[in-house]
Every structure is written in C-alpha cells, then in structure tokens.
Chain A
C-alpha cells in the first residue's frame, strides 16, 4: 500500500519533468517546480514508517521552501526584472522533451543495474531520481535566461532529494536540514545576483554574459 502510494507520487514527478521541458511560459515552469517541491515534501512522511517530530520538521521545511518561499522569490525576480514571459530555448521544446524521455528510459535501465537493499527494490525512487537529474541538467544547459537556469538547478536538487529518501531512515537529521539550508542560501544568493544582472544589463538573458571567453 505504502509502496504503491510512493510510486504513484513518483510517476507524478516524472510527468512534471516532461511538462517542465515542454512548457514555453516561465510562470508555468515556476509553478511546476513548486508543485514538484510540495510533492517531494510529503514524501518523507510516506517513506519512513516510524517518524517523529524531526521528520515532520523536514517535511514542513521542504514544503515551505520548495513550494512557497523559493517560487515566490523567483516570481518577484520575474516581475522586478521585467523579463519577457517566454522560456527561450537553445534547443527546441520537442527535442528537449524527447531527450528527457530518452533520459528517463536510460535512468530506468541504469537503475536496474544498481544493487538495491531488499526494502527498496519495489520502489521507483532511483529511476525517478536519475530522470529528475537529467531534466535539471537539460533545463540548465539548453535554456538561455538566468531564471530558467536557476529553475534547472532547483530541479537538479529535487532529483538529489528523491535519492536522499533512500537514506532517510539511516541518515542523521543534521545532513537533511543542511541540504535544505544550503538550498535556501544558494537561491538567496542567486536571486541577489539576478537582481544585479538585471540592473546592469537590463535583462536576465545570459547571452549578454558572453564577454568573458577565449
């Protein structure tokens, strides 16, 4: 019962991955990333059968940071920088979706090669984690705007978080909360930088950031 519920959520995350690669609106992208964060936040409650207040705290912090605080910061950056609302891809939407799908297939194949503990064999955590990592990488490398690259980085972090679920029972609290804290600090600094980029270049297009090269 628990296993099938987790797998259902993971399938939802995989669908969100494909949606994020295909969408042309930055707002929709932020929304999808936030939704993914909320789904992830609920996962510790399902994964760990006997959790206490510590686990509830991690779940709460994840939902608050990934679902509300960070998306709100991104939306504010979007508003203040007066960015055009379209995602500008270097590679088109359909090719990146196909790449994402291929990545998911490869992730499933690769995951089946890796030896898992008996209690994790029924779960889709490893393929979902790898597929989300691939999605994050694609968003990072094939989108032009700084803000979409930040979202790509967040999705990458989501993929890592999914893998972290495998270790949730064994892993000390400090490491988990460290992950969340660092995520927050990273995005905080990045949003300050985005503010400065938009002031200096009047846009968040990283093509302006091309004077430093050989």
Chain B
C-alpha cells in the first residue's frame, strides 16, 4: 500500500498543479509533495517488506537506496525550485511544476518496478516528463538540446525494449512471467546466446539514459541548456534509476553464470566513459557543460565498480549516493552563478566568490568533493573503487583510472578556479540576482550531507548499503 501511495502522491500533486490557476501557489506544491514523498519513502525504507500489485511493485535493497537518494534529492531541489521560479516570474510554470512532479512519480515507479516491461515503461515515461523541463527557457538552443535529448533518448529506450524482448525470449518456457524474481529463478536455464545479446542491448539502451560513452552525446547539450534544478535531478535522479535498471539485468546474467561476460562489458563501457569525459573536461569553457562531462565520468565509475565485483559493488552504491548529492550542489550553485552573471562561459564569468559569495564557495567545495578530495563523501567511494581495481589485480586498469582521475581534477580545476577567483570584470553583465535563502540553504544542506558521508556513514545507512551489495552477490 505504501508503495502505491508513494507513486500517487507526486501524481496527485501534478494533477493539482495542472488545475491551480495561481503561479505562486503552484510552485508551493513542489515542497509540499516532496515532504509527503520523503516521509512515505522513509517509512517504506524502514518497513520490512513493502510489496503491492501481486509483486509487480516491491522495494528490494537496491531499490531502497535509490529511493532514498531520489526522495532526498527531490526535497532539496523542490525548495530551491521555489526560489528559482520566483526569480523567473516572466515564464509561466504551468508546465514546469506538473512535469517535475510527474518526473518524481515516474522515477519512483522505476525504483519499485519488479517487472521487466513495467520497468521499461516507467523509464520511458520519466524521460518524456523531463523533455518539457529542458525546454523551459524557450530559447533556440534549448529546443536543440530537447530535440537531441528526445531523439537519442528514444532510440536508446527502443534498444532497451528490444533487449527486454531478447531477455524474454531467452527465458521462454512453461512459465512466461517477466517478474524479476521469476526471471532470476529461471536464469540458470536461460539460453546463453540470447541472454548475452539481451545484455548488450539493455546495457546500450539504459546506458544511453545513464549517459555512458559513446551514447552520451545528448548529455552536454541537455545539462548545459536545462535549468540547474533540472540538471541536478537528471544527473542525480534519472541516471541513478537507469543504473538500477542495468544492475537488475546484470544480476540476471550473474545468476545465469554469465557474470564474467557482463562484468567485462561493464568495465569497457566504464573506462571508456571516464576517458571520454576526461578528454572533454580539459579546456572546457562552459561550466554547465563541464558538469555534464563530470556526470559522464561518474556514471563510468558506477558501472566500473559493478564490473570490478566484490567490494566494488558496495563502493558503487555508496558512490551513487555521493555523486547524486554532490551533483546537486554543483548544478544548483552553478545555476546561481549563471543567473548572477547571465553567462555560463568562463570568458565572461570571473570572480563569482565576490559577486555571489555563498554560491561561489559552494561551487568550489562541490568541485573538491566531486573530484575525490578528502574529507568529502566521494573521496571514500572513489578510493574504494580504485583500491578494488588493484585488489582484483586489474593493475593496468587501476593505473589508467588514477591517471584519468588526475586529468579530470586538473581539467575541472582550471575551469572552476577561473569562475570562482579574481574580480568580476567591469564589462561583465550585472543582473539583479543575489544569493537568497531559498536558493542558498538547500545547497548548503546538500553540501553538509556530502561532508557527513565523508566523515562518518550512519549505521542504518551502512546496513542498507551492505544489504544492497549482498543482494548482487548471489540469488536472494
């Protein structure tokens, strides 16, 4: 029951937002729905076993982690969005607010979906709900970004559907249920050829949603042109949902005895993504596009961790939380800087720490966190992934990883320091934007959580992480 409520709360909010005539009241629905969702999510995560609709919806350990991230992330973004929409009063939020809530509802459905087909439908619905969000600014560039997002995303999701069909064909037998539990039970008898083909298509399909190289081409455009709050939700929320989908399919391969094959593919895509991101991060002049490439890098790290196996799985789950929260700090503070200078190119933006001290500082701290500097959360998870690479005797891979992470640090660092340091040049545009409570406090909170995760992982959270890691080690 709680799962159905969890999905219905944002959907009802979306319907209500569509019906409300007042622009001011409508954006207040965001934090209200987010608070309701967060309360229900915490209850569902603490509950021993949440199931609904004959097992089509259930919350398993990985689902709990992603749900936690999603709900916290949305709560942070919903408060920020109120401040953002008040600043951008000239644009109607009649589509923006319902689509944000629809996105929350559909991603929650992704997390709970225990059926191969339902998973696919919900990922597609979440994609469609975000398209109008990217188009919010109504500029030619945002249309171009939305077009690429829809076209590349739809092709990716079509390939995922084909992969789902292949997987269903691999499991054809007396009992044709596509529930993950039944698929796992039948996995050892599945036809290995079809299963391997299915994994490739599902990895490429959902990998497109995640933004793994070489299917990442939509990402810099979409993240660069979308409002920062949408970028934060995409980079932390939607990508984590796609990651969950890949993990579910990987689990079937593993139980079927094709784990080594699947892991080698994950390693290839992971390392390629990190390498491509590192190349484009060096000399990047647009700081929002820079964040998109950083997201590609971290998606690579996530699949790499799973591909390394063993303690790498635990590290990947932890990194998913760290990356999602740190990305929200970066995207939201970058959007504040963007608004203060009316530019997102380092040719115009300089001295952000002077003009918007809070956002400038948070952007700098977020940069140190995401590149794996202690004492922030991502340091712990990145360290665990790299050390797992050496422990698993992937010496070349581990060395390549260290070099690439260094390149990323230097490349991002040059862009970030150019934005934050110095004094604003006199000809740089001055806008009315100032750091405010609504667009500042949520980012500070997110940064505090990232710091906390680096210093000490709370015991209940560690238990959740261990359960999610154990879930992948063998049949449940």
Contact = CB atoms under 8 A, between A and B. Distances in A.
A212 B117 contact: no
Interface string B135-164: 100001101111110110011001001100
Interface in B242-282: 280
B120 A178 contact: yes
15 contacts: A115-B194, A140-B151, A149-B151, A156-B155, A160-B165, A163-B166, A167-B168, A170-B168, A174-B117, A178-B117, A178-B121, A182-B121, A182-B124, A186-B128, A186-B150
A104 B13 CA distance: 49
A182 B106 CA distance: 14
Interface in B219-245: 220-221, 224-225
A181 B121 CA distance: 9
A210 B161 CA distance: 29
A129 B120 CA distance: 20
A117 interface: yes
A160 B158 contact: yes
A182 to B, nearest CB: 5
Contact of A214 (B158, B166, B194, B280): B280
B131 interface: yes
The 10 closest A-B pairs by CB, nearest first: A175-B117, A170-B176, A209-B144, A212-B221, A178-B121, A200-B140, A182-B124, A160-B162, A163-B165, A167-B168
Given A149-B151, A153-B158, A193-B143, 7 more contacts: A114-B197, A140-B155, A171-B168, A178-B120, A193-B146, A196-B135, A196-B143
A133 B197 CA distance: 15
B172 interface: yes
B180 to A, nearest CB: 14
B169 interface: yes
A166 B124 CA distance: 23
Given A174-B117, A209-B144, A114 B150 contact: no
B191 interface: yes
Interface string A118-150: 000000000000000100000010000010010
Interface of B: 117-118, 120-121, 124-125, 128, 131, 135, 140-141, 143-148, 150-151, 154-155, 158, 161-162, 165-166, 168-169, 172, 176, 178, 191, 193-194, 197, 220-221, 224-225, 280
A19 interface: no
Interface in A17-36: none
Contacts of A210: 144
Interface residues of A, number: 41
Contacts of A172: 117, 178
B121 to A, nearest CB: 4
A200 B162 CA distance: 35
Given A164-B165, A172-B178, A212-B145, A153 B220 contact: no
Contacts of B128: 185-186, 189
A192 to B, nearest CB: 9
A114 B193 contact: yes
A71 B144 CA distance: 24
Given A115-B194, A153-B158, A185-B128, A197 B143 contact: yes
A159 B151 CA distance: 17
Given A114-B193, A186-B128, A197 B147 contact: yes
Nearest to B284: A214
A117 B158 contact: no
Contacts of B121: 178, 181-182
Given A153-B154, A153-B158, A193-B150, A167 B144 contact: no
Contacts of B172: 117, 167, 170
A102 B143 CA distance: 36
Nearest to A113: B193
B225 A212 contact: yes
A3 interface: no
B95 to A, nearest CB: 11
Nearest to A157: B158
A94 interface: no
Nearest to A201: B140
Interface in A160-213: 160, 163-164, 166-167, 170-172, 174-175, 178-179, 181-182, 185-186, 189-190, 193, 196-197, 200-201, 206, 209-212
A115 B193 contact: yes
Given A172-B178, A175-B178, A212-B220, A163 B162 contact: yes
Contacts of B224: 212
A116 to B, nearest CB: 9
B151 A153 contact: yes
A156 B151 CA distance: 12
Nearest to B177: A172
A142 B356 CA distance: 46
B150 to A, nearest CB: 6
Nearest to A150: B151
Contacts of B117: 171-172, 174-175, 178
A146 B16 CA distance: 34
B172 to A, nearest CB: 6
